[in-house]
Amino acid sequence: MTKLFADLSGKVALVTGAASGLGKEIALAMARSGATVGVADLNLEGANSATQQIREHGGRALGVLMDVTSEGAVNAGVDDVVKEFGSLDILVSNAGIQIVSSIVDFAYADWRKMQAIHVDGAFLTTKAALRHMYKENRGEWSFIWAPCIRTLHRR
């Protein structure tokens, strides 16, 4: 199978929103390239299923329950990954939702919800990951912020 990533042997990655869709595919592709993967999502059952898939192919992974809008949950989830695997080198902040609506009909509450997941989630996961990365000082880190807001269209 084609590898999306370079050799990631020895690297530990955390992927959020990894129970399904793009996040799951990124987690599986990173594992195929040798990374150990923290598979984080609101949907723990889905995260555990992706984890199982990685393990069945000989990879190392941990399913993590994480709501990226909760600072406590993000810190705890990142701590769990580092405790299990000893380090963190790569963060893929992918968790997101899509609400398609014309702006005039777009509920402000939905806008705030999307901002919380996409923007606050990227901030909180980056902050939590950097706490460990700075401490470990392994010198080479990667960040990917995946979701884009694609909600404006004409009626």
Ligand X SMILES: NC(=O)c1ccc[n+]([C@@H]2O[C@H](COP(=O)([O-])OP(=O)(O)OC[C@H]3O[C@@H](n4cnc5c(N)ncnc54)[C@H](O)[C@@H]3O)[C@@H](O)[C@H]2O)c1
| Options 41, 48, 81, 132; binder of ligand X; rule CB under 6 A | 41
Question: Is 93 among the residues that bind ligand X (CB under 6 A)?
Answer: no
| Options 50, 61, 95, 124; binder of ligand X; rule CB under 6 A | 95
Q: Least distance to ligand X from the beta carbon of 63, Å?
A: 12
The residue (of 66 and 82) whose beta carbon lies closer to ligand X is: 66
> Cα 135 to the chain's mean position, in Å?
21
Residue 11 Cα distances to 34, 69, 88, 141, angstroms: 8, 26, 7, 10
| Options 68, 91, 92, 124; binder of ligand X; rule CB under 6 A | 68
Question: Is 147 among the residues that bind ligand X (CB under 6 A)?
Answer: yes
Half-sphere exposure of 76 (CA within 13 A, CB side): 12
Token look-up 């990173």 returns 30
Q: Name the site residues for ligand X (rule: CB under 6 A).
A: 16-17, 19-23, 41-43, 46, 66-69, 94-98, 117, 146-148, 150
